[in-house]
Amino acid sequence: MPYVTRNNVNVYYESFGEGLAIFFLHPWSTNRYIWANQLLDFSRKYRCIVSDHRGHGLSDKPAEGYAIGEMAADVVAILDDAGVERAVLVGNSIGAMIAMQTSLDAPERVIGNLILSSGTNLGAESPPEAAAAIEQDWRGFFSGLLSTAVSEKSKVERPEILNFMEGCFRVEDNFTEGVFFASLADPNGVFNWNISDRLKDITQPTLIIAGEEDGATTVAQNQFLADNIPHANIKIYSDVGHFCQLEKPTEFNDDLRSFVTKLSLEEKTVVKC
């Protein structure tokens, strides 16, 4: 099982296929399995890399060190270990935050970004009562948040999606109370991370996909990213929440395929020059 070690933290990753590299970055509290559908599809033609972020899945769960910048540095370390010079980054939620931070910190390693249901400075929009609710019942609060992140249509037609998400959260060795609160407390962690004034510096081609019924990151938050990242386009999925790759996998895969195909052609042109 491949691990990369950085600053005494072991981060687990897997690699499948050959060709242009696509690095899939999962949401907070989940793990690499959320990308199973995409790995099966895209590894036939591309080099697909998937990891468990520090604090998740098979990766170490240190008591601190959950800044988005730390996780972006883990991505670069994995690319180095896998022998990959440049990759397309596909991130969902916190995974997209990590992709954007990697694009800023190591722009030469990023071909392009697919940002799925994300934002920046999320804590500023959280109601004051949220902090008290989290302290009182962190699992209950998070379970409620997950429920709002899946569309009503998906809950009825595809209940296995919410079951999967809640299952990730219930498994103690996948995501722990310590990781939850350490992430919240980090001044550059998931809810405190703010690159609003640096979005203009993300120069890679970027496709932003958001779900119309997402209760975790709103369409407005995703639109803010699209308005401020220079080479960004945005697409809104109807009847979908936070997890487009699960709720509308065929449409998502088609959009990702078109995006990667275009980037692949541009990458070949750059190499020729």
Enter the tokens of residue 74.
């883990």
In whole angstroms, what is the distance from residue 271 CA to residue 264 CA?
A: 11
The candidate with the shortest Cα–Cα distance to 116, out of 271, 243, 204, 221, is 243
pLDDT band at 271 (very low <50, low <70, confident <90, very high): very low
pLDDT of residue 233 exceeding 50, the answer is yes
Measured CA to CA, the distance from residue 237 to residue 154 in angstroms comes to 13
Given this structure, which CATH class describes domain 3-272? alpha beta
Nearest Cα neighbor of 112 from 221, 261, 273, 271 is 261
- pTM recorded for the entire structure: 0.93
- Domain boundaries in the chain? 3-272
Stretch among 28-37, 167-176, 187-196 having the lowest mean pLDDT: 167-176
pLDDT digits (tens, 9 = 90+) for 131-156: 566 767 777 777 777 788 899 999 99
